[in-house]
Amino acid sequence: MAGKVWFITGASTGFGRLLAEEVLKRGDKVVATARDEGKVIDLTDRYPTDALALELDVTQKDHILAGVQDAIDGFGRIDVLVNNAGYGLIGAAEEASDEEIEKIVATNVFGTVDVTRAVLPHMRAQKSGHIVNMSSAAGVVGTAGVSIYNLTKFAVEGFSEGLALEVKPLGIRVTVIEPGPFRTDFAGRSAVFAQECIADYDSTAGKTREWLKSEDGKQKGDPQKAVEAIVQMVDADDPPLRLLLGASALNRMEAKLKLWQSEIDRHRDVTLGSDFPDGV
């Protein structure tokens, strides 16, 4: 059903930009936010009554609160929140600096939490809404060389899962999106590499660093098909809590589940043996 109001963070490039364009084409309204408003202002030129472009840095709470209020003032409601703003940090945990870690956590984790918390009072009041949190296959499967990025996306997964249980009785739905490699700017212009490289990690994090550089523009995932899948999911009567996107994400998740179940079975006696005996 068209006519929804979408609030999308990180709408200047990648999934955020394509999603904004997709929902505007079908007749929905969009609040497109970015740290540089100039990168989304063209949407208001093309869709003057349906698009609102806003400067919003998800690490700045005053930006968040002002942006949400502008959305409510402009369109009266927010039906779909898409927490898309974020980026990857490539490098081993020891290679990343304190500043690099703090910055990505502020954006990927606290940015998602703070924007969600700002929108929730409005969704509670209207007794409806859908929160879409952009995670990654890296939010469910760890990889050498992106352990800090894993940290942020695993946090988004846990937050989303708990949040979904809290808001379901209030008419609000939550879905976390888990894409594999897609032809966005993630491995190219948007990629952030740890400034320090330690030779001892050349065979682990170093290989991931080189693989990402070589794969930019060659990823199998089609971003346009991904945003179409997100729109279809939002329209569904019974949307999933998690949505994997792309064969790579699916294959990695299935391999992890198989290994995880094997480890559970192998150590079942130790696991159960850590409880008090029955009746104690």
**Domain regions of the chain by residue span:** 5-248
Count CB atoms within 10 A of the CB of residue 49: 7
pLDDT for the residue numbered 213: 78
Task: Please provide the distance, in angstroms rounded to a whole number, between the alpha carbons at the two ends of the chain.
Answer: 56
Give the mean pLDDT of 54-67.
Answer: 97
Q: How confident is the model at residue 183 (pLDDT cuts 50, 70, 90)?
A: low
Evaluate if residue 190 carries a pLDDT over 80: no
Give the mean pLDDT of 97-105.
Answer: 97
Q: Are 253 and 137 in contact (CB under 8 A)?
A: yes
pLDDT for the residue numbered 1: 44
Count CB atoms within 10 A of the CB of residue 34: 24
Three-state secondary-structure class, residue 193 = strand
- Domain 5-248 of CATH type 3.40.50.720: yes
**Known catalytic residues?**
135, 149, 153
Query: What are the tokens at 161?
Result: 């899962």
Distance between CA atoms of 261 and 255, rounded to whole angstroms? 10
Distance between CA atoms of 82 and 6, rounded to whole angstroms? 7
pLDDT for the residue numbered 2: 55
Q: Which tens digit of pLDDT belongs to each residue from 119-154?
A: 999 999 999 999 999 999 999 999 999 999 999 999
Distance between CA atoms of 37 and 231, rounded to whole angstroms? 24
Going from the C-alpha of 84 to that of each of 7, 144, 156, 275, the distances in angstroms are: 10, 24, 11, 42
Give the mean pLDDT of 220-231.
Answer: 90
Distance between CA atoms of 154 and 243, rounded to whole angstroms? 15
Three-state secondary-structure class, residue 238 = coil
Residue 89 host element (H or E): strand 89-90
